[in-house]
Amino acid sequence: MAEPARGQALDGAAPAGPAAASSVAAQVFESIFEAHPDALLVVGPGGAIAAANPAAASLLQYTVAELSGMPIENLVPDASRARHASYRAAYARAPQRRPMGTRTELAARRKDGTEVVVEIALSPMERPGSHFVLAAIRDIAEYPRVKQALKRARYSDHLAQLARLTVESRDLPQIVQRVPEIVASAQEVEVAIAWLLDRSGSDFRLVGGVGMPAGEYVGLQLANRPDSLPGIVARQASAVLVTDLRTETRFPVPRPWLDAGLRSALAVPLADRGQVIGILSVRSRQPHRFGDDELRFLESAANLLATTHQRLQSEEQLDHAQRLESIGQLTGGVAHDFNNLLTIVQGNLQVLEDLPAVARDPEAGRLLQAATRAAGRGAALTGKLLAFSRRQRLQTERVDLRVLLESLCDMLGRTLDRRIHVALHVAPGCPAAWVDASQLESALLNLAINARDAMPGGGDLSFRAYPMTQAAGAPDAGRRPLVAIAVTDTGAGMDEQTKKRAFEPFFTTKPPGRGTGLGLSTVYGFASQSHGHVVVESAPGAGTTVTLCLPSDDEHAAADGVRAEPPAFVRRAGARALLVEDDPEVRKVACRLLRSLDYDVREAASGEEALALLQAGALRFDLLLSDVSLGPGIQGTTLAVQALQRVPGLPIVLMSGYSAELMEADRQLPAGCELLQKPFSRADLADALARVDPRR
C-alpha cells in the first residue's frame, strides 16, 4: 500500500502507520507555530530561545535566526532582568499553565531598545529528559479598548504640552508654529496647519504648519471664500470633517493635496468671544482617519490656541496703551510749556509789526513774516503733540463721509504723484461719522502722505468707508455703532517690529528731513479721543491698511454740527479788562494785545489778587481774561465761578496752552464763558472777545 499524501492525512484520511502519523502531526504543529498571530517563543531549561515564530520576530524587531539561541533575558527590560531570572528558576521548579490576563504591566524589550507593553501566557512542554516552556506574547496595544485608552492618554499628554507652552511663552508667533507640531505628533498625521483671519474677516493668513504640501507656506494669504475648507469652517463656525478628499464635493480639493497622497481632513474654528478668528486643521493619508476622539482633541487644542491668542493680544494692547499713555502725558506737558513760549514769541512779533520803524523797513517786514511762519509751524507741531496725547479740543459734528472722502480724493488725485491711482468706495447706506471734521480730514491726509512715501514708484491708494460691528476686545465695544474708514496702499509694508512702534511720536522710517514721525501718532490720538480706535495691518512687500474706526451716530440732527460764525469784533474805547496770568512774559504779551484792541488793562499774577480787585469795587471791569493754570493757588476755572458771583454777567475768557485744561474747563464753566487755546494771535483774541461780549 502506498504511503498517503500529506494532504490526505490533513483531510482526515487514515494514516498508514505510527511513523507517518507522527510526521503529519509534526507538520501540523509546525504550520500552526508559523501561522499563529501571537508571538510564540519556545524557551529551553537554560533560558535560551529554542524556536521563534515570524510574529515574534515582527513584534520584537529581530529576525527568527537572531532570536534562535538568544537568552530570554535579552528581551526583558534592564530594570526587570534580575527579577525575571529568579522568577524563571522558580517556574522551572513548579511549572504550570498560566493564561493571559493574570498579570499586568509586563514589558518586552525590542531590538532598538524600546519597550512594548505585553501580556504573556506560559505553557510547560514536557519532553523526555528536559523541560521546555512555550511563551505566547501579545501586544496589548492591539486590543481595541486598550488602543483607544492609549490614544486618549497620548492626546491628554500632548494637551498638557500645549497648556505648558501657552502658559510659559509670550511669543505668539512661536506658539502658533509649535501648536501644529504638537497636534501632528499627537494625532500621528502628516499635515497640521493653523490659519488666522485678518481683522476685516476677508483673508486668512497661514501662521504655522507642518508637512505642508506644495503651495502652502507660513505667510500665505488665502481669501475667505465659501469654496475653501477654511472658508466653510468660518461661515458655519463649526468643525468640518472630510472622510475622503477624492470624493469631496463641498469645495474643490487643491491638486497638491491629492498629489501628496492626502485622503482625509478635519478642521475646527478658533473662536474668541463667539467670533471666528482662525482655523486649526489636520490632514492624513488614510481615508476615514478622524473620529470623535480626534475631533475633541483638535477642538481642545483650538480652544487653547484661541484663548492664548486673545490673552497675548490683550496684554500687548495693554502694554502698548500704557506706554503710549506715558508718552502722551510727557508730550502733553511739553506742548503746554511750548505753547506758552510760542504765545510770547507770536505776541511780540505782532507788536513789532505795529511799530512805525518796522513798517518803513521792507527787510524788517520780511524777517518778521519769516519768524511768524516759523512760530506757526511750531504751533502746528505742538498741536500734533496734543493730538497724540489726546488733549486737543474736538468740535464734534455729523460728518457725511461720502462728501468728505469725495472731496479729499479729488484733491489727492490732483496733488499726489500722478503715478498713484486714487480710488474710493463708500458702502451703500454707510452712516455718518460723529467726529471733528477738520481733525478727521487732517488724519486722512496724514495717512495719504504716508502711503505716498511708501510708494515712490507709484501704486494704488484706496479709501473705503463702511459700517462695522464692534470687534471683540475693541476699546469701546458695546458703547455705540462704528463706521470704518480703511486707507490701503500697495507700498513696501511694515514688519512686526515697525508696526509695534508705528504710533509712537517721533518714530519714523523715512529719511532725515522727510518727516517728523508724528503722522500716525496724531491719527492714533484723534481716533482714541473720538472714542474710536485705529488698526494697522501690514506685511513686508504686501502694502499697508490703516483702518480708522470712529463713532457713527445718525441720531444727531444735522443742525447739531453747524458752527455759527463769530460776530465781527467792534472796538469800544474805555472798556476795562482784568488780565490774570502767572507767567510774567505771557502776561506782558497778552496785555499789549488787549491794549492794541483799545482795552484799559489791569494785571494780576494770581487768582487771589484778581478776586481782591473784583471785591474792592473801586473799578468796574468789562472783561476777565485769565489763564486756567495759575500756580499753587486758585485756578482759572474757580476764579471764573467766583468772579461771576461777584459781578454777574461779567464776560470771561479763559486761556491755556494745555488743551486738557480747556476740555476740563469746558465741563466746569457756566454757559457764556469762552475758551482760548494758546498760542493765539490778535485776531484769535478778538474773535473770542466778540463771542463773549455781545456789546462788542
Q: What is the pLDDT of residues 170-196, one digit of tens each?
A: 777 788 888 899 899 888 899 999 998
Taking the alpha carbons at both ends of the chain, their separation in whole angstroms is: 147
Q: What is the pLDDT of residue 4?
A: 38
To the nearest 10°, report the CA torsion of 170, 174, 176, 182.
-110
Q: What is the pLDDT of residues 361-396, one digit of tens each?
A: 777 777 777 777 777 766 665 655 554 444 455 567
Q: What is the pLDDT of residue 146?
A: 62
* Cell 470704518, residue located: 484
* Cell 498629489, residue located: 259
Task: Report the mean per-residue pLDDT for the chain.
Answer: 78
Pull the grid cell for residue 67: 532570536
Q: Average pLDDT for residues 650-654, to the nearest whole number?
A: 89
Give burial (CB, 10 Å; 0-12/13-18/19+) of 146.
middle
Res. 103: pLDDT tops 80: no
236 vs 442 pLDDT, higher one: 236
Residues 173 and 653: their CA atoms lie apart, in Å, by 55
Q: What is the pLDDT of residue 488?
A: 93
Q: What is the pLDDT of residue 475?
A: 46
DSSP three-state, residue 646: helix
Q: What is the pLDDT of residue 598?
A: 87
Q: What is the pLDDT of residues 303-338, one digit of tens each?
A: 888 887 777 666 666 555 555 455 555 555 556 666
Q: What is the pLDDT of residue 694?
A: 53
* Cell 518727516, residue located: 515
Q: What is the pLDDT of residues 234-263, one digit of tens each?
A: 999 999 999 999 999 999 999 999 999 999
Res. 285: pLDDT tops 60: yes
Q: What is the pLDDT of residue 505?
A: 55
Residues 194 and 605: their CA atoms lie apart, in Å, by 66
Residues 115 and 689: their CA atoms lie apart, in Å, by 93
Q: Average pLDDT for residues 475-494, to the nearest whole number?
A: 77
List the one residue out of 317, 325, 269, 323 whose CA is nearest residue 471: 317
Q: Which amino acid is at 681?
A: S
Those residues whose C-beta lies under 8 Å from the C-beta of residue 526, and which sit 6 or more positions away, are: 387, 392, 394, 436, 439, 440, 442, 443
Q: Average pLDDT for residues 36-54, to the nearest whole number?
A: 90
Which pairs with CB-CB distance under 8 Å and at least 24 residues apart come from 95-103?
A: 95/122, 95/124, 95/131, 95/133, 96/124, 97/122, 97/123, 97/124, 98/122, 98/123, 100/136, 100/138
Q: Average pLDDT for residues 43-49, to the nearest whole number?
A: 89
Q: What is the pLDDT of residue 503?
A: 66
List the one residue out of 203, 72, 93, 79 whose CA is nearest residue 137: 72
344 band by pLDDT with thresholds 50, 70 and 90: confident
Q: What is the pLDDT of residues 205-215, one digit of tens each?
A: 898 899 999 99
216 vs 351 pLDDT, higher one: 216
Res. 120: pLDDT tops 60: yes
Res. 526: pLDDT tops 70: yes
Residues 538 and 553: their CA atoms lie apart, in Å, by 29
Q: What is the pLDDT of residues 554-579, one digit of tens each?
A: 544 343 444 445 566 666 667 889 99
To the nearest 10°, report the CA torsion of 359, 363, 368, 370.
150
Residues 673 and 626: their CA atoms lie apart, in Å, by 11
Residue 39 β-bridge partners: 137
